[in-house]
Amino acid sequence: MGVFSVTKLSEGPVRPSAATPSETLPLAWVDRYPTHRGLVESAHVYRAVPRPRLAPAANGEAEADAKEAAKKQKSPGAVVRGALADALVHYYPFAGRIVEDVPGRPAVLCSAEGVYFVEAAANCTLADVNFLERPLLLGKEQLVPCPSPELWPVEPHNSLAMIQVTTFTCGGFVVGLRTNHAVADGTGAAQFLNAVGDLARGLPEPLVKPVWGRDIFPDPDIKPGPLPELPVLALEYIAFDFPTGYLDKLKSQYAAFTGGKLCSGFDIVIAKLWQCRTRAIEPAPGADVKLCFFASVRHVLKLEPGYYGNAIFPVKVSAPAEKVAGSSVIEIVGMVREAKRRMAEDCLSWAEGRNGGHDPFQMTFNYESVYVSDWSKLGFSDVDYGYGMPMAAGPLVNCDLIASVIVMKAPAPLAGTRLLASCVTKEHADDFARRMRMDLV
């Protein structure tokens, strides 16, 4: 096996391709939450596709065809760079910076300084690096932009987006993305990336019109709780794939158990996760175990289509360890569904200041708690720059300090759901993996 490496071909800011407003935009209460001030890193893997062949020119259209042919011969990096410049005209806040003129109230300065962009080339095929399956055969730092202060004199937590396009010798490419959680949640970041894809495919404007709208987002008079203490945990990384047939079977079992009620594949995989993890770690008698994930509340708060800020709310489930360990997956799905049902009222109570000043986003990170992030329906898997949709799209790393899990769409050609788990120590890893893989067919 050779040494796989990535060479940067060009790097620097990509600015909007036309004039944009110069203003300072407020962030919403959730955007300003201290834990959201940072860059989320992800990789989006695109297989090689044949270059389209053009029909011979006719009726004096040779010049137009020549221009189209030249466009088709551009590298993926050049295509994305050009579309990014156009997308930033519509999503111009991404070309700005976070400033904090008022302590504790960060805002976005729309300065048109641009998004840091890198075009790079790898010396191998995607197959050589196993299509970036874990463990990564290319280091994370080779796939996403990490500019020095000399090249990018902006603190990472004040930058709003950075993008790298790495082309492989097979013709496939990877988009390495870093977006600031303070300006967009996962759905919002995917919306922005889809806008780049729309323009890369030649559409005159993004299919979804961006809405800033932070001034109409609830701003309850609630002070965020203190930042949580992180435990010292050495967590093992384990991946699981749930075939569509397995998920459909349990959906049918849940419907039969409840007299026709529906559940999602997400409900099933996190119920199985919570059950198997609880059985594997064997909490102390009488201890409670907790499950937490974040749900979009765009529908609850009646936000306009196109809103791309943080519109998430925690869904928390807590129960005695004995109950979770002793319940079937179907019974635990019911517990998850009930917590989801309560979420809308909990969110409105927070938004309207009716919850006694309690911060629902306050978390406790201990070994009895597991946190889930759902990437399966954010929209990253739909981004098409003219080369088709990605075979895989998800976070580059999982946190190795907090017991956490990522749920994402299984990479093509697999059908189903993938779960990336970093939630048990080495002591419990084998038992946890054995239980999780039981009955997966």
- Full DSSP string of 378-392: SSGGG--SSS---SE
How many whole angstroms separate alpha carbon 210 and alpha carbon 216?
Answer: 15
- For 415-432, what is the mean pLDDT? 95
- pLDDT of 54 reads 37
How many whole angstroms separate alpha carbon 3 and alpha carbon 124?
Answer: 9
What confidence tens digit (pLDDT) does each residue in 235-278 have? 999 999 999 999 999 999 999 999 999 999 999 999 999 999 99
Q: Which of 180-194, 200-214, 386-400 has the lowest mean pLDDT?
A: 386-400
Question: What per-residue string of b and e applies to 292-322 under the rule 16 or more CB within 10 Å gives b?
Answer: bbbbbbbebbebeebbbbbbbbbbebebebe
13 in Cβ contact with 116 (< 8 Å): yes
Per the residue annotation, which of 44, 181, 346, 428 is the catalytic one? 181
312 in Cβ contact with 295 (< 8 Å): yes
Q: How many CB atoms lie within 10 A of CB 376?
A: 20
Residue 360 has pLDDT above 50, yes or no: yes
- For 300-317, what is the mean pLDDT? 96
Catalytic residue list contains 181: yes
User: Quick one: what percent of the chain has pLDDT higher than 90?
Assistant: 79
Structural domains for the chain? 6-216 (3.30.559.10), 235-437 (3.30.559.10)
Q: How confident is the model at residue 221 (pLDDT cuts 50, 70, 90)?
A: confident
What confidence tens digit (pLDDT) does each residue in 32-43 have? 998 898 899 999
Q: How confident is the model at residue 111 (pLDDT cuts 50, 70, 90)?
A: very high
DSSP 45: E
What confidence tens digit (pLDDT) does each residue in 334-350 have? 999 999 999 999 999 99
Catalytic residue list contains 241: no
| Alpha helical stretches, state H, 262-363 | 265-281, 321-326, 329-351
347 in Cβ contact with 300 (< 8 Å): yes
126 in Cβ contact with 168 (< 8 Å): yes
Residue 101 has pLDDT above 60, yes or no: yes
For residue 267, give the 3-state DSSP assignment.
Answer: helix
How many whole angstroms separate alpha carbon 175 and alpha carbon 194?
Answer: 13
Q: How confident is the model at residue 64 (pLDDT cuts 50, 70, 90)?
A: very low
Backbone phi, psi, residue 255, to 5°: -60, -40
For residue 205, give the 3-state DSSP assignment.
Answer: coil
At residue 171's C-alpha, the angle toward residues 89 and 168, to 5°, is: 90
How many whole angstroms separate alpha carbon 121 and alpha carbon 164?
Answer: 10
For residue 314, give the 3-state DSSP assignment.
Answer: strand
Residue 80 has pLDDT above 70, yes or no: yes
- pLDDT of 399 reads 64
User: Quick one: what percent of the chain has pLDDT higher than 70?
Assistant: 93
